[in-house]
Every structure is written in structure tokens, then in C-alpha cells.
Amino acid sequence: MTSASEKLPRQPRCILITGGAGFIGSNFVHHWCNNYPEDRVVVLDALTYAGNYKNLAPLAGHKNFRFVQGDICNRPMVEALFKEEPIDTVAHFAAESHVDRSILGPDAFVRTNVVGTFTLLDSFRHHWEHQGALENFRFLHVSTDEVYGSLGPDDAGFSETTPYAPNSPYSASKAGSDHLARAYYHTYGMPTLITNCSNNYGPYHFPEKLIPLMCINILLGKSLPVYGDGQNIRDWLYVEDHCRALDVVINQGQPGETYNIGGNNEVKNIDLVNKLCELMNELAPELPVRPAQELITFVKDRPGHDRRYAIDASKIQTELGWTPAETVEGGLRRTIEWYLTHRDWWQPLLSEEYQAYYQKVYA
């Protein structure tokens, strides 16, 4: 018999990663492939504007890696995938995720985030039941702290028991998908896990989001649009820290539980932009405008703009032993260095469609 002190060998997984060509998803794919080379990894991504197959190019041709282009709302395709592959784990990242776009066109957010999540959950439930409802199966639903609404300046951070109070079409659609994932555990006993994270940043981040937008605009000598008075506060989580946390949740988390993941790095938007300017002044000697701070421009505030987000990550720290390793200073430096050395990645993304969207939001 195995003694209590001996660890049983880890059984390889077959993991389906939805949205695996997007920002957080692709970072997670690389993390999983690097740490579990014996696992079968299947990536499903629709390759919409924010999904980029180049993010996964280094994995092409690996025997345990498969990429499928497809829409999570396409139930026949999703069900066929569960029949073709011995999938026992789903890491669900696929989502419309930008608040500004949800204000301009909320219907896509309801379709992908609510209907798409339901399609995956229900297809996986039938697959799980057909396989005998095995205990090692997992469905990880990756969500956001924005479902909890907005905090006052002295409020405690969002915990797993904070009531939901979404304030944008994006956060409302993510709240709906969270509730579905929770319901599938309580109704069917399906082993779902939910994580709610704070703002991520790092490599492969589509340029419409705050940090890559500022980095690229500084390099191009364009204005740096800051909403309102710039005093909105966000907790920033380096994407590699997030991937480590999700790894721990899949392998050690308790089915039916929610885990909040934060970086313990609360920063005002204007302070973050100024820090990016300082680092760009240091790391990019040939800027079109120097100092970069001269490019900062305040623009009309976003409708329904939440004032402050903060995460109480004590549950995942206490129960699963995860803590963030990266500081804002270190993470921003690493992120800027990545954008400086990967112009061939971000320059093609500044398309006519992107420029038209940019004018709509910031003009």
C-alpha cells in the first residue's frame, strides 16, 4: 500500500482550452504545455479580432497539441470534439471581454459569454455522464472581478461571498455565465470550478486594453487617453501569476468552489499611466515624443465606469497555497520589454477595423 507521505503519480489529462488563442488563454496554453508535456492539449478558438493564432505558433506540430478553429456556440461542433478527444478537463477562457465594446454592441457579449458558456457546460455534462461521471473530470470557468460591481475607497476587497452587482453589459454577461457554472454543480453534480480575477497584463495582450494601448501609443507618439479624472483604481495581476493560480485550482481546487485571484497591486489609472511613461522613457531611447508624459490626455469618462476594484485572495492563498510572485514594477517592465521586442506581433493588429473602433471610443 502507498503510505500517506507518498504522492501517487499524476495521471495525464486531456484538456480542452477554449479561447486559447486570446491573451490569457494563450499564456495559459504555454504554461500548461511547458509544465505538463505528457498531457493532450486541445485549443478551441473562433479567431475573432482578439484571437491570434500567432500566439500559439511555437506549439504547431507538437504531437500532444491540437488547434481547432470554431465557435463555442456551435453545439454540434462542440459535441463532436468531445467525441473525438478523450477530454476530461475544460479550461474555459473564451469570452467577449472589453467593457467599451460591450457598451457599443452588447448582443455579442450575451451570445458568447452566456449562450456559449451554456453550450459548453451542457455538452460537457453529457460527455461527463456518458463517461461514467468520473471524479477526476473538471470544468474551470474563468471569470472576472467586475461581476461584483464597484468598491468605495475604504471598502474591503471582493471576496467569494460578495454579492454580485454588475454595472456593464460585459460584467452582466460574465455574471450570468458564473451563475450557470455554479448551477451545473448544484443541479447535476458536475465538477465545476469558478475563478474571478483582477485586471491581467503581460505578453500577447490585444492593443485595445489599457496597458498595451499606452505602450503602443507611446511608441507611435500618439495621445494617451485617460478616462475621466484618472482616479479609478484597479488591482493588477501579471498573467503568469494568474496561469499558476489556475493550474493550482484545476489540480487542487474543490469542485463547486469559487476562488478569487488578485495581484495585491491596487493602482490608480493615472499613476499606472505615469509609471508606464517613466519605464518607456528609460527602456525606449528613440521615442517620437519625450518625455512620454506629454502625451497624456484626459477624455470623457466611460459610461457606468466602476470606481475601484480590489480582490481579497486570502481563500486561494490559505486553502491552495498560491500567492502572486510579480510586483507591478517588475511586471510592467517585463511587459514593456516584450512589446519593444515584438513589434511584428502588434503592428499588424492596428487594422482599419481597430482604427475605426479607436475613433469611436476616444474621438
pLDDT at position 8 is 60
Q: How many CB atoms lie within 10 A of CB 361?
A: 17
Identity of residue 54: K
Whole-Å CA distances, 145 to 12, 219, 263, 358: 31, 31, 12, 25
Residues marked as catalytic: 145-146, 170
Identity of residue 138: R
pLDDT at position 2 is 41
CA distance linking residue 312 with residue 275, whole number of Å: 24
Which DSSP symbol is given to 80? H
pLDDT at position 358 is 87
Homologous superfamily of domain range 14-204+236-265+305-327: NAD(P)-binding Rossmann-like Domain (3.40.50.720)
Terminal Cα distance for the chain, rounded: 69
Looking only at the bridges linking them, the beta strands covering 40-45 and 65-69 are parallel
Q: What pTM, to 2 d.p., does this model score?
A: 0.95
Q: What is the Cα gyration radius of the chain? A: 20
Whole-Å CA distances, 126 to 119, 132, 190, 301: 11, 10, 10, 45
SS3 state at 71: coil
pLDDT at position 338 is 98
Do 72 and 21 contact (CB within 8 A), yes or no?
no
Tens of each residue's pLDDT in the chain, 363 residues: 444 444 567 899 999 999 999 999 999 999 999 999 999 999 999 999 889 999 999 998 899 999 999 999 999 999 999 999 999 999 999 999 888 888 889 999 999 999 999 999 999 999 999 999 999 999 999 999 999 999 999 999 999 999 999 999 999 999 999 999 999 999 999 999 999 999 999 999 999 999 999 999 999 999 999 999 999 999 999 999 999 999 999 999 999 999 999 999 999 999 999 999 999 999 999 999 999 999 999 999 989 899 999 999 999 999 999 999 999 999 999 999 999 999 999 999 999 999 998 898 887
CA distance linking residue 226 with residue 362, whole number of Å: 9
Do 67 and 56 contact (CB within 8 A), yes or no?
yes
CA distance linking residue 232 with residue 109, whole number of Å: 24
Strand blocks (E) in 35-146: 40-45, 65-69, 89-92, 138-144
